[in-house]
Structure formats: C-alpha cells, structure tokens
C-alpha cells in the first residue's frame, strides 16, 4: 500500500466510522473506484483503532465519571444507579457482535467471498437506510441517556451485530435501534459511540495481533501508522460535527446518501 492510499483510507475511515453510512463499505468501495487493491478486513479493523482513540479522547471525562460512578454504585450496592446501568448496558450490548464475529470470522474475512461482494454491500446499505428512515418517522425522540437500561443494551447490541454485514454500518444500526426505542437523535449517537468502544477495540487488537504474527515489513507498519493517525484526527472532528448536527437536524441526509451509495455500489458490482 502506498502512502497516498493510507492517507485516503484513513480519511475515509474517520469520516464514515461514526456517521451512519458504514466505514467498512466505504473502505471496500473507495479502493474499487481508484482501482486499488482491496485493503481487506484486517487492515480495515486495525485502522478503526484510530477511531476508538478519538472517541475515548472526546468523551474522556464522561468515561471517567462512568467508571468511577459504576465502582461507587457497586460498593454501595446501588444496582439502579444510572452509571452502573449504562456501563452494564455497554458490556452486555457488546456480547452479540463479539460472539457472532468469532463464529463467522472465516466467512467475514474472506476477501473474495460473498461478504465482501459489492452487490451484498450495496443491498445492505439500502436496507439499513430504509430502516433508518422508519426510525426517523416512527421514533418519538423523548428518551435521553439517563433513561437507558440493560434491556436497551441488549436490543441495541443485537442491532450492532448487524454491522458484521458490510454495508449495514455499526453506527447506523445502533442509532436506528436506539431511535426506534424512542431515544433522541443526539443521545442515540452518543450511546452508539460508547457502545462501539469495546467492540471496535477488541476487533482491531485481534486483527493487529494476527497481522503481527504473520510478520509485517517496515513499509507496511509505516502505512498502517499513517492510516491510524489520519483516522484518529478525522474521527475526532466527525464526532464533534455529528453531535452538533443532530441537535437541530434529522437523519434524512444519511438516509438519502445510503440509498444513492447503495445503488451506485450495486451498479459497480454488476459491472
């Protein structure tokens, strides 16, 4: 991989990880448009670690309060404490994608397999776009982060597992389910960011271990580092923009984009 490719893919990762439009799909389609080689699932998962660092940095104080608040609640046996409930919902919500990801790891990582097919990615993008449209129309947007419980974690976690299908989008599927549970748009995005931290971290570290086990040249490590840093910076800016945007705007722009992107991707696959 050339340096320019690493920078471009890092930007793509940063822009699309937290917007509900699927980073995995874009990391597959953009190289296709530029006639570059498919970077593969492993590379895509590893540069997502840059996005994880960005979300941890952005919500660092919130995460500290959440951690200390949960520990205090456990010490006081206050099982209904908001911080503890939120922490448990994140932990429980991470289980489905981890279990299913390990079960179908070989299928998902087959770069020439159906899971990486442009047609499948395009269909998934359209399907999730339509579900996001339903959430936008039907969601009441009356619940905030303070109303979240373990049941919500289970349901949104099952939605997150859909992101194993390239094109569905982890943030898109989690935001969609959260909005169907009547969460406000900004709070749905905020919860999606928190829920993604364990899953993306575990996936990225596992793939990084696999890559290092098979050996990496200095050039490969260099381009990987460039992709990581680029995705970190762009992800941080994307988080800030999305939260600000959702305070006063709907998700219609993402619905329309997903439908167009899905149609174009299917067209590329058929060609």
- DSSP string of 28-85? HHHHHHTTPPP-HHHHHHHHHHHHHHHHHHHTHHHHHHHHHHHHHHHHTT-TT-HHHH
* Average pLDDT in the chain: 91
Q: What is the pLDDT of residue 1?
A: 66
Rounded CA-CA distance 176/172 in Å is: 6
* Domain boundaries, position 148: 3-270
Characterize 1-16 residue by residue with b for buried, 16 or more Cβ atoms within 10 angstroms of its Cβ, and e for exposed. Answer: beeebbbbbbbbbbbb
Q: What is the mean pLDDT of residues 219-239?
A: 91
Q: What is the pLDDT of residue 114?
A: 74
Q: What are the residue ranges of helices labelled H in the chain? A: 3-16, 23-33, 40-58, 60-75, 82-103, 105-108, 118-138, 150-161, 170-180, 185-213, 218-246, 252-270
Judged by average pLDDT, the poorest of 114-118, 131-135, 154-158 is 114-118
Q: What total number of domains does the chain contain?
A: 1
Tokens 């205090």 — which residue? Answer: 72
Judged by average pLDDT, the poorest of 63-67, 136-140, 182-186, 222-226 is 222-226
* Number of CB atoms found within 10 A of residue 165's CB: 22
Q: How confident is the model at residue 196 (pLDDT cuts 50, 70, 90)?
A: very high
Q: What is the mean pLDDT of residues 137-147?
A: 91
Q: What is the mean pLDDT of residues 98-123?
A: 83
pTM of the complete model: 0.90
């Amino acid at each position: 991989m050339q340096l320019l490719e690493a920078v471009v893919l890092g930007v793509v990762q940063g822009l699309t990880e937290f917007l509900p439009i699927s980073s995995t799909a874009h990391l597959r389609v953009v190289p296709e448009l530029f006639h570059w080689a498919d970077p593969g699932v492993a590379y895509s998962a590893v540069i997502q670690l840059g996005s994880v660092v960005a979300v941890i940095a952005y919500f660092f104080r919130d995460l500290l309060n959440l951690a200390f608040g949960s520990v205090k609640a456990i010490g006081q046996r206050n099982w209904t404490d908001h911080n503890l409930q939120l922490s448990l919902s994140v932990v429980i919500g991470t289980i489905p994608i981890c279990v299913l990801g390990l079960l179908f790891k070989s299928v998902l990582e087959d770069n020439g397999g159906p899971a990486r097919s442009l047609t499948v990615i395009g269909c998934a993008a359209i399907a999730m776009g339509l579900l996001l449209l339903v959430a936008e129309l039907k969601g009441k947007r009356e619940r905030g982060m303070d109303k979240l419980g373990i049941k919500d974690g289970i349901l949104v976690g099952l939605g997150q597992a859909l992101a194993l299908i390239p094109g569905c989008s982890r943030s898109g599927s989690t935001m969609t389910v959260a909005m169907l549970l009547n969460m406000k748009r900004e709070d749905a995005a905020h919860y999606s960011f928190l829920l993604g931290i364990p899953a993306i971290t575990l996936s990225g570290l596992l793939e990084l271990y696999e890559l290092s086990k098979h050996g990496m040249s200095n050039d490969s490590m260099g381009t990987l580092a460039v992709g990581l840093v680029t995705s970190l910076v762009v992800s941080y800016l994307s988080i800030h923009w999305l939260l600000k945007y959702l305070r006063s705007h709907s998700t219609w722009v993402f619905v329309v984009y997903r439908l167009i992107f899905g149609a174009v991707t299917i067209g590329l696959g058929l060609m």
